[in-house]
Structure 1
Amino acid sequence: MEYILKIFNSLIFRLTACVGLVLLISISVWAYFNLKYHKENTFNKTIAEADHLADTIKLGTHYAMMLNSKEDINEIITNIARQDRIKQIRIYNKQGEIKFSNIKQEINEKTNIKASACDICHKTEHPVEELDILKRIRVLTSPEEANLLGIISPINNEPSCSTGPCHFHPEDKKILGALDLVISMKDADKEILSHERQIINMAIFSFFSISGIISLFFLIYVIRPINRLIVWTERIGKGEYDLRPRLDKDGNDEIGQLADAIHYMGKRIQEKQYKLNRQKDEYQQLFEQVPCYITVLDKDMKLLKYNKAFTEHFNPRPGEYCYSVYKGRTEKCDMCPVARTFEDGKSHYSEETGISKDGSRSHWCAQASPIKNAQGEVVAVVEMCLDITLRKHLEERIRKTEEQYRVIFDNIPNPVFVLDSETLEILDYNESQRAVFGYDKHELLGKSFMDMFEQSDRESYANEIKTSNIINKIRYRTRDGHIRFINLRVSPSEYMEKKTLLVTASDITEKLIAEQQVIHAGKMTTLGEMATGIAHELNQPLTVIKTASSFLIRKLKRSEKIKDEILQTMTEEIDAHVIRASKIINHLREFGRKSSVIKEEVNVNEAIEKAIEMFVQQLRLREIRLHKNFDPDLPLVLADSNRLEQIFVNLLINARDAIEEKWEDKFVPDGSKEIDIRTEFINNEVKIIIADNGTGIPQNIKDRIFEPFFTTKKVGRGTGLGLSISYGIVQDYDGIINIETVENKGTKFIIRFPAVKDYS
């Protein structure tokens, strides 16, 4: 019984049964449709032969019917009916009478018009004139024959029948009668039966032969290799991985490929097992040698396993409680990460503090992770602890260092702001800003640094802060609304993981006041040096006015009448020279006032003309020629006109003194003393050149001429502030001043100012 069950459960039986069932169904379906097709084909062939025979009989009797020769028609039908296959031949007329038949007793008998032979066409009230051949046949049975086939063929009315001399048939009659032919299907039945036997025998033979071949194929090429593969797989399961060489060749088919795959699998399993064993040793070594404490704990917090570092540091014993080993406690910690991991099955982290074996305070971070069984239950927890005592000490030192730097930051004498590099939002600032800007602690946090400047200056200052490192002499507004001046130093930095700008401010308001006082003193000195020329300038209009007034007084004393033309001329001269004197005095007053540090658009040519106007009389007295060559389309610059005028006056004084020193106590040829002033626009810069043909400057002191109180003039002739002040003014307006000089030939001062950007 077990053997039979084993056979039924075997793969070859199942495969053979499955394939055999499919094959049986396939062959059966094939045989069924083959027989069906053969029967239909044989039956259709018999029908075609019967129809052909009926047409032959009608053609054979056609001539006799035309002659109305009944004897000939009967003789023809009788002779044809002698064939074995033909059982009955009848010719019916329109009324259903049998007019001709191979059976003499039936002649002139009248049949029922609804009889089986006639019912084919007379089913309806009006007989059907045309029918398909399949509708004109009928299958009959008889005691002698298995099957008989009857076919009805209509006899049509032809023109020769309706007009012939034999008898008259009206033309409107289309059907004159019918030919009923009954033949035997004995030969066709035999043929069908023979074919059925052949098909059935072939199907049985094919089923058993193919099933046997398939079974044999499965046995040789499937079952035997599979059994061998099963043996190899069992050997792999026992740890025998090297299955080469194979006992026989499996080929390159799927079974052979499966065998190769199993061999490869065994080899790979052997390699993986080797690596697994090696990794196991490595992980065990790592577990022991890793420089942190690793323990495995059960639900009672007892030590199941621990590594070498834990052993050396705490000297535990198996089964001890972790809280006793770590902290010397008698119960578990309140926020124990191991207990929380047992509760929710998730990893937990904590930082712990305890006393080590040497009595010092230790800090460590603990990470607890669950160990789960196949059902997902937490059976143990692995806890890894990393000593962070050194990190804690460093954090404390960093905290103290940050406090120290914060103290330094808050006590820097200059205001320091930390700004967002994009929005210029104030992120932090020190206490020193209170003395300069006047704001309380935290009052500016979150606000824009630009809020402390005038609305009209904010956009330009914001662009400069983002793009420049140094910004000098910018205006700001204190908390109480006063306008003051500062210099800014900008450095990129980082603050709270943000890109920031570190801005240091220096209040230069007092310094600017002092500079203005120095500059003003320089102006007063210049005016003092120009006193002679100015006195001459004022003396000329006063002389004209004195002469005119004396003339008028003398005429009035003598009671002499003054002509209207003379009186008009005298009064016009007095008025013109009063205006001239007033203009000179106003110019001196304007030049002598304190200058502003505010930048405005200035025409350099106009500032030079004002300086020359105040200085030209002195040059005339000293026979110094002044040559001017001004660019009429010169663009504007950002500066202060009064301060620019001071630069040009200082340079003209230097040029005058250099020329006077060169020709002192010497014969001066006519036209030898010259000063040349030229302006031009080159490379978006306004360029001013003031050249003289004086003594020049020695090369060894050329680099010192812009230093305060340094002068090359004789004692009592100069303060040493003129060029220094001029240099500072040029720097204030982002300009450059250079000097070119050749000793005993002359000096050339070259000044460049950036033109206004939107000038067109």
Structure 2
Amino acid sequence: MSSSFRFLRASLAVRILVITGITLFVCLGLHAWLSIRYQHSHAARELVAGADRLGQTILLGTRYAMMGNARHELDQIISDVAKQPDIVSIRIYNKAGEIKFSNHPEEIDTRTDIRDTACHACHVTDTPKTSLTVEERIRMFDDGQGLPRLGSLMPIMNEKGCAEDVCHAHEPGKMVLGALDVVLRADSAEQDILVFQNRILMLTAGVFLGASTLIVMLLRRFITHPVAKLIESARRIGRGEKVDFEHFEGVGEIGELASALSRMQKEVADKHAALERQRKEYQHLFEQVPCSITVQDRDYKLLQYNREFADRFNPASGIHCYEAYKGRTDKCPNCPVEKTFATGLAHCSEESRVNPDGTRAYWLVHTSPVLDEAGNVVAAMEMSLDISARRSVEERLRMSEQKYHAIFDNIPNSVFVLDAQTLEVIDCNTTAELVYGVERVRVRGESFLSFFSSEEQDRYASQLRAFTVLNRARNFRKDGSPFYVDIMLSPAEYHERQILLVTTNDITERLETERKLIQAGKMATLGEMATGVAHELNQPLTVIKTASSFIMRKLRRQEEIAPEVLNTMATEVDAHVDRASQIINHMREFGRQSDLTLELVNINTVLRASFEFFFRQLSSREIEVVWRLDEHVPLILAMPNRLEQVFMNLLLNARDAIEERSAATPEAPRRITLTTLNKGREVEVVIEDTGTGIPKSLQNKIFEPFFTTKKVGKGTGLGLSISYGLVRDFGGSIHAENASGSGARFTLRFPSSSGATASGGQQDVDGSGISGS
């Protein structure tokens, strides 16, 4: 029984029916009560209004009889009116309360108590009222036999005719002369109200029962049966059965609920399929994951494991983890599984064992807790990743690092590791410590630019970032002593940091040897120029000798010398002394050892200075020099003294080649063409002659040391080799080829440098014109 009540309490239809029934009952009951109350009130108002109108009518009907004191007529009116079925009695009271007229003759001239029911309305106070409202004139009472009666008391007011008529005049001060009392039967009205009330209640009951029956039918049709079907469908969906909603009849919310259940069935099916796929995927992953996974209880027994673990350790059923992993008979020390059970947190460690083949295996262990619904640790999952190969690689890498670190420290050149942005020293090798006189620990973090002079640090800061090779850079040791190095730079990445590998090679001794060789080349060049220099000096000496002989002869003869002649001779002697001094100073400047500092040089100026040595020699040999100089060429970085040596070597070779060809072919042209060109980022110098040219078989050998095509005693074979090295030191290049007609053409290219250029335009200058200047 209690289960049935629970079902009723839980039934949606019952709850809807009860709520709807109560609501309907309350509404219908309220409507019936309001209707009865309205009908009762309306009937009472109508009865009161009718009684009041009847009283007013009777009062008006008897007015003229009372005005004329026609008592017989007044009695007749009252008797006739009282014959109406609903009228019980009609009485007229005087001021003293005596009944003067009545439809009941036995009541005439009887006195009533002034305070009784009929007179109570006016005499409710000590001073009688002179006017009454309708509600005050009407009274309801019982006639003593249980029958309801309605009384209407109408005051008879004193009028002017009553106060002035001589027949029955009343005092003018009296306002009320008496009262008309009409008593009506009220039982018929109450009977009508009772009948109406019963009909209303019966109608309400009928409507309630009919509506309840209709509601029950509608609930069963549109709610109970569809909801029952939906509940059964939901249960079937919960059991995994397929439900067909296509033929389900339902509208409104029930139809939407059916559609929702249909969508839910599809979504549940999709989710179930997805979960099944995920279960299979996770099972596949669990089996195929490239690491060993086990689930262990608190006794460290294996509850579950994947295929990788089974293939690797081949565990027996019910075995402990330490037996499977390491073949131990007791728990491993510092066990991560034990820590997970103790703390409920994940732990990791690195484990190892000796394999049956004697090799050692390493694996990385990660453990995590398996919790029940209450949050208690009931098992532990252990994942083991084999890192034997990684450990082997790490060991080889460690040995490799040791080997390369040993190589790094024992490289015969100084090696620095610099930060690519700041040029701070990150590390250096042992050779760098020895060469630079620094300690590795202290030099770390210092700028590599500290090894350069303060004047050159800005220039080398940009060059270290821009170039891969820097030649003949001057560095300073810790004690301040300078030395020269070639610097090779290689960008790299080290520990996710951009670095520069800088290798420096001490070339101080090599430069000293080159300097001696270059100096020897200069001396050889001066030796080859000795004849020309002697001729250059012989002319001014001859002029001086002639002038001195003339002066001495005049002095012996004691002859006067004219002032004009003496001035002319002194001027010529002074000019030729200056000429001789210029030649000697030029030879001294050319022959001295130059420093190794590059400076900005105007290549046209150096080319003209080189030509000064050969001005007389070329003129005396009738060799024409053609100048095609671009006066707007940019400046270059070079050493003027050594660049002049390059041009002099090329001019000497051109002179000798022209002499050699002229000896064989006297009519051959004798011309040297000197050209400079601005090529944008380069400055080009072309020295072309009309000599014998260069045999093709020897064009690749002419720059080799000690190679010469001149006769024995006329060349050392060092000129072009030294020139080639000097041009390369200035960052340039030199190329030799035969000219289009005959003779050789040497093309030199130098990188241009920012700065001012010489003024003037390109011009052709004849060598003979210069010779005459």
Q: Which moved more, 1:22-31 or 1:736-745?
A: 22-31
Give the C-alpha shift of residue 440 in structure 1.
2.2
Note closer, same or farther for the CA distance 1:402–1:667 as it changes in structure 2 (3 Å cut): closer
8 Å Cα contact 1:411/1:432 also seen in 2 = yes
Q: Which moved more, 1:723-732 or 1:682-691?
A: 682-691
Name the counterpart of 1:449: 448
| Partners of 1:676 and 1:117 in 2: CA distance | 160
Matches for 1:242-391 after TM superposition, within 5 Å? 242-244=242-244, 248-251=247-250, 253-263=252-262, 265-266=264-265, 269=268, 287=286, 292-307=291-306, 310=309, 314=313, 316-329=315-328, 331-357=330-356, 360-391=359-390
Q: Does 2:528 correspond to 1:533? A: no
Structure 2 letter corresponding to 1:12: A
Q: Does 2:597 correspond to 1:602? A: no
Note closer, same or farther for the CA distance 1:609–1:288 as it changes in structure 2 (3 Å cut): closer
Name the counterpart of 2:574: 575
Note closer, same or farther for the CA distance 1:269–1:731 as it changes in structure 2 (3 Å cut): same
Note closer, same or farther for the CA distance 1:612–1:205 as it changes in structure 2 (3 Å cut): farther
Find the partner of 1:749 among 738, 746, 751.
746
| Partners of 1:343 and 1:536 in 2: CA distance | 109
Find the partner of 1:673 among 664, 670, 676.
670
Count of equivalent residues: 617
Partner secondary structure for residue 612 of structure 2: helix
Structure 2 letter corresponding to 1:14: R
Q: Does 2:138 correspond to 1:143? A: yes
Pairwise CA RMSD: 4.1
Matches for 1:193-272 after TM superposition, within 5 Å? 216-237=217-238, 239-244=239-244, 248-251=247-250, 253-263=252-262, 265-266=264-265, 269=268
Matches for 1:31-42 after TM superposition, within 5 Å? none
Name the counterpart of 2:54: none
| Partners of 1:604 and 1:756 in 2: CA distance | 12
Q: Does 2:733 correspond to 1:736? A: yes
Deviations 1:392-434 (A, max 9, x none): 2332222112211211121122222222222222222221213
8 Å Cα contact 1:242/1:267 also seen in 2 = no
Note closer, same or farther for the CA distance 1:200–1:595 as it changes in structure 2 (3 Å cut): farther
Q: 5+ unaligned residues in a row in structure 1: which ranges?
A: 37-114, 119-137, 149-192
| Partners of 2:205 and 2:364 in 1: CA distance | 84
Name the counterpart of 1:725: 722
Structure 2 letter corresponding to 1:444: V
Taking structure 1 as the reference length, what is the TM-score of the superposition? 0.72
| Partners of 1:620 and 1:683 in 2: CA distance | 35
| Partners of 1:572 and 1:199 in 2: CA distance | 163
| Partners of 1:470 and 1:264 in 2: CA distance | 75
| Partners of 2:696 and 2:34 in 1: CA distance | 127
Partner secondary structure for residue 442 of structure 1: helix
Name the counterpart of 2:60: none
Structure 2 letter corresponding to 1:663: S
Structure 2 letter corresponding to 1:675: I
Give the C-alpha shift of residue 204 in structure 1.
9.3
8 Å Cα contact 2:699/2:737 also seen in 1 = no
Give the C-alpha shift of residue 641 in structure 1.
1.4
Give the C-alpha shift of residue 389 in structure 1.
2.7
Q: Which moved more, 1:200-209 or 1:366-375?
A: 200-209
Partner secondary structure for residue 443 of structure 1: helix
Give the C-alpha shift of residue 17 in structure 1.
4.5
8 Å Cα contact 1:314/1:357 also seen in 2 = no
| Partners of 1:732 and 1:500 in 2: CA distance | 27
| Partners of 1:673 and 1:725 in 2: CA distance | 26
Note closer, same or farther for the CA distance 1:657–1:116 as it changes in structure 2 (3 Å cut): farther
Name the counterpart of 1:431: 430
Q: Does 2:700 correspond to 1:699? A: no
Taking structure 2 as the reference length, what is the TM-score of the superposition? 0.70
Structure 2 letter corresponding to 1:755: S
| Partners of 1:676 and 1:543 in 2: CA distance | 32
Deviations 1:590-636 (A, max 9, x none): 01112333111111221112111111111012111222233333332
Partner secondary structure for residue 678 of structure 1: strand
Note closer, same or farther for the CA distance 1:207–1:551 as it changes in structure 2 (3 Å cut): farther
Name the counterpart of 2:627: 628
Structure 2 letter corresponding to 1:323: Y
Partner secondary structure for residue 675 of structure 1: strand
Name the counterpart of 2:439: 440
| Partners of 2:674 and 2:242 in 1: CA distance | 106
Give the C-alpha shift of residue 706 in structure 1.
2.6
| Partners of 2:586 and 2:718 in 1: CA distance | 22
Partner secondary structure for residue 699 of structure 2: helix
Partner secondary structure for residue 445 of structure 2: coil
Structure 2 letter corresponding to 1:369: S
Identity %: 45
Matches for 1:106-185 after TM superposition, within 5 Å? 142-143=137-138
| Partners of 1:211 and 1:326 in 2: CA distance | 78
Q: Does 2:16 correspond to 1:15? A: yes
| Partners of 1:34 and 1:711 in 2: CA distance | 146
Note closer, same or farther for the CA distance 1:205–1:572 as it changes in structure 2 (3 Å cut): farther
Partner secondary structure for residue 384 of structure 1: strand
8 Å Cα contact 2:294/2:304 also seen in 1 = yes
| Partners of 1:737 and 1:201 in 2: CA distance | 134
Deviations 1:210-251 (A, max 9, x none): 7765554443222222212222333344x34223477x5234
| Partners of 2:474 and 2:638 in 1: CA distance | 15
8 Å Cα contact 2:634/2:754 also seen in 1 = no
Structure 2 letter corresponding to 1:390: A
8 Å Cα contact 1:627/1:675 also seen in 2 = yes
User: In terms of Rg, which structure is larger?
Assistant: 2
| Partners of 2:336 and 2:456 in 1: CA distance | 60
Displacement over 6 Å in runs of 4+:
20-36, 115-118, 196-212
8 Å Cα contact 1:313/1:357 also seen in 2 = no
Name the counterpart of 1:481: 480
